Amino acid sequence: MAVRSALVWAAALTWALVACGGSANQPPGAAPVVDVTIAKGQVTPTNATLLARVHQQITIRVTSDTADELHVHSTPDHKFQVAAAPNQTFQFSVDVPGNVEVELHHLDRTIATIQVQP
């Protein structure tokens, strides 16, 4: 019975990790923070999945070797100018629950989808 329980637990953990598709390590209930690196046309992370609550502060920290525009498809909508510079911090909150995509426009990459809950 213990072996079966361990196998079920391991399968559930594996599924959870795969389903997140590269999510940031976010403690439950913690305000989301995404560390983004843009270097030589490559973006890390891409397609991360995060959880947030309505009106919760969300932070995106960017180090980039090129200028771009960070666009948050939410209500309200947010746009941030990314400079070719290290240690840039952008903060915002979302007023309406749902899935919110965070994208870089010039590089055409989705950094993260934030699942905003009431």
- Ranges assigned E (strand) in the chain: 33-39, 42-44, 48-53, 58-64, 68-73, 78-82, 88-92, 98-104, 109-117
Instruction: Tell me what the mean pLDDT of segment 67-83 comes to.
Output: 96
Minimal CA–CA distance to 33: which of 118, 117, 111?
A: 111
Q: Tell the burial category of 9 from Cβ atoms under 10 Å away from its Cβ (0-12, 13-18, 19+).
A: exposed
Average pLDDT over all residues of the chain: 84
pLDDT of 88-103, one tens digit each? 999 999 999 999 999 9
Per-residue model confidence (pLDDT) at position 30: 86
- Architecture of the domain made up of 24-117: Sandwich (2.60)
pLDDT at 1: 52
In this predicted structure, what is the pLDDT of residue 111? 97
The proportion of the chain whose per-residue pLDDT surpasses 90, expressed as a percent, equals: 72
Asked if the model's pLDDT at residue 69 lies above 70, the reply is yes
pLDDT of residue 29: 77
In the predicted model, is pLDDT for residue 110 greater than 60? yes
Q: Is 10 helix (H, G, I), strand (E, B) or coil?
A: helix
Express each pLDDT in 8-65 by its tens digit. 343 333 333 333 334 456 677 789 999 999 999 999 999 999 999 999 999 999 999 9
Question: Could you give the residue ranges of the DSSP H alpha helices within 1-118?
Answer: 2-20
